[in-house]
Structure 1
Amino acid sequence: MKLLLVEDDDSIAAYVAAGMTQSGHDLDRAADGLTGMELAFTRDYDALVVDRMLPRLDGLSLVRALRAAGRDVPILFLTSVGGVDDRVEGLEAGGDDYLLKPFAFSELLARLNALTRRGPARREDTMLGAGDLTMNLIARSVVRSGQAIDLQPREFRLLEYLLRNKGRLVTRTMLLERVWDFHFDPRTNVVETHISRLRAKVDKPFDREMIRTVRGSGYILEG
């Protein structure tokens, strides 16, 4: 792998660099966000590892800028900022994974291997659709039957995940993990509440409902 590490902590950077070298991977390092952004825009990488708290340009702004420009390289946040809201914010900014400090190098490498196996998003995947519903991932827009639908960020992520799995059963646990990054059951009705809000925008104004509940199992978005 050819990797870019954007990290201002010299000791962590040296630790990661040593591990990557021993594992046979190439690593570039940027000590601030602006340098990291310049490298990410001018060189090709298999994946980026980005700290959130960076001088000159923070990690969230860096990732948002890359995604806004259509750069689809896999990005893993490596940070000590680890609250649930922080992780959600990082994923919604365009990160693909989130690893907290302190960390084991073996886990970092395993996560990067998983991200790069998936590969960058294919060009055609910037557009998702089912029936008369389309989603533009670059413009962050949703249209059904020619009518624009205004979604909140979480609703957008929820619909995106349903579209990527159209015709397949999506369980509540799957949604908690992939849309909210919860790897435990928060014992709330957060999924049901957001499904209801999404239906109010995507289904109710139209003749045919697309989001179907499978009682006791989850949801299916039908084309």
Structure 2
Amino acid sequence: MKILLAEDDQRLGKLIVKMLKKEQFTADWVEDGISACDQALTGDYDVIVLDWMLPERDGIQVSRTLRSEGYSGAILMLTARSGLEDRVSGLDAGADDYLAKPFAFEELFARIRSLSRRNFFPIDHDIITSHDLTIDLANHTIIRGSETIILTPREFQLLVYFVKNTGRILSKDQIISRVWEEESEVTYNTMEAFVKLLRKKLGQTKRNSYIKTIRGFGYMWMGDNV
């Protein structure tokens, strides 16, 4: 699981990162709100642990910015403010959960695991479309016209990840981290083989261009108008 920590207290930040890694999480750390926004929108994180009182841009502003930019992952707000109005403000800004300081690390880890198991895409997005494909997220089916395209669970995960990031260049490391998670033995060759198989099953041609190779970096799912 990949975590972004936004915390300006260096002593606490170092300790949280150390404890996250001890729990086998992958953790990146930034110390201000602007960096938090930039990193969150480009780093493909499962959960953002976001301190309220950040320099440059506070946690409320960061959360609102991320949601307005389409970030749909989990946000856990950390703050010394524990009043009801503060809690409501954090959740209204787009946070998914709220943890008051000081906190026990066991509770932090439990909140992170709980958030990571949730589906952060709205219910009305159970069916998504792209190009000539209709993708049923609940039933794991792909329809093109009257044809049903059969994918393995891993191929389906890969397809959904691409489609939900339409027009965004994804590195090979991002794809492996998101689709294969903690299976660290997965190589670029394995991932590339899955992309090749997915293209074949989708019937990708020059006319039906779904996945574009970004030479030396990764791939991009093309928008419908391309």
TM-score, with structure 2 as normaliser = 0.54
The match for 1:200 is: none
Q: Quick one: which amino acid aligns to residue 31 of structure 2?
A: A
Q: Does 1:121 align with 2:121?
A: yes
CA distance in 1, matches of 2:73, 2:27: 15
1:96 correspondence with 2:100: no
SS of aligned partner of 1:66: helix
Structure 1's consecutive aligned runs of 4 or more residues displaced over 2 angstroms after TM superposition are 122-127
Distance 1:123 1:55 in 2: 35
Determine the C-alpha separation between the residues in 2 that align with 1:12 and 1:119.
29
Aligned counterparts of 1:58 and 1:126: Cα–Cα separation in 2: 33
- Structure 1 unaligned blocks of 5 or more: 128-223
Q: Which residue of 2 aligns with 1:36?
A: 36
How far 1:11 moved relative to its partner? 1.4
In the alignment, structure 2 segments of 5+ residues that lack a partner are 128-226
Q: Quick check: 1:80 aligned with 2:51?
A: no
Cα distance in 2, alignment partners of residues 32 and 123 from structure 1: 33
Cα displacement (A) at 1:18: 1.1
Partner of 2:68: 68
**Superposition pairs for residues 41-190 of structure 1, below 5 Å?**
41-122=41-122, 124-125=124-125
The answer to whether 1:8 aligns with 2:8 is yes
Residues 109-143 of structure 1 deviation map (CA, whole Å, 9 limit, x = unaligned): 0001001111322583499xxxxxxxxxxxxxxxx
Residue 14 (structure 1) shift: 1.3
CA distance in 1, matches of 2:125, 2:77: 23
Contact 1:6 1:29 in 2 (8 A): yes
| Contact 1:74 1:119 (8 Å CA) reproduced | no
With over 3 angstroms needed to count, the CA separation of the structure-2 counterparts of 1:83 and 1:125, relative to structure 1, is farther
- AA aligned to 1:28 is D
Deviation string, structure 1 residues 144-190 (Cα, Å, up to 9, x no partner): xxxxxxxxxxxxxxxxxxxxxxxxxxxxxxxxxxxxxxxxxxxxxxx
**What SS class does the counterpart of residue 115 from structure 2 fall into?**
helix
In structure 1, what is the Cα distance between the partners aligned to 2:54 and 2:15?
A: 18
Question: How many residues are matched?
Answer: 127
Measure the CA separation in 2 of the matches of 1:66 and 1:31: 17
Q: Secondary structure at the match of 1:5?
A: strand
Q: Is contact 1:51-1:78 (8 Å) kept?
A: yes
Q: How far does residue 100 in structure 1 lie from its aligned partner after superposition?
A: 0.5
Q: Give the structure 1 partner of residue 215 of structure 2.
A: none
Which whole-Å deviations, capped at 9, do the CAs of 1:197-223 have from their partners, x for residues lacking one?
xxxxxxxxxxxxxxxxxxxxxxxxxxx
2:55 maps to amino acid: P
Name the SS of the counterpart of 1:118 in structure 2. coil
* TM-aligned CA deviation for residue 60 of structure 1: 0.3
Q: Distance in 1 between matches of 2:14 and 2:83?
A: 26
SS in 1 for 2:72: coil
* Alpha-carbon displacement from aligned partner over 1:78-100 (angstroms, at most 9, x marks no partner): 11111110000000110000000
Q: Percent identity?
A: 43
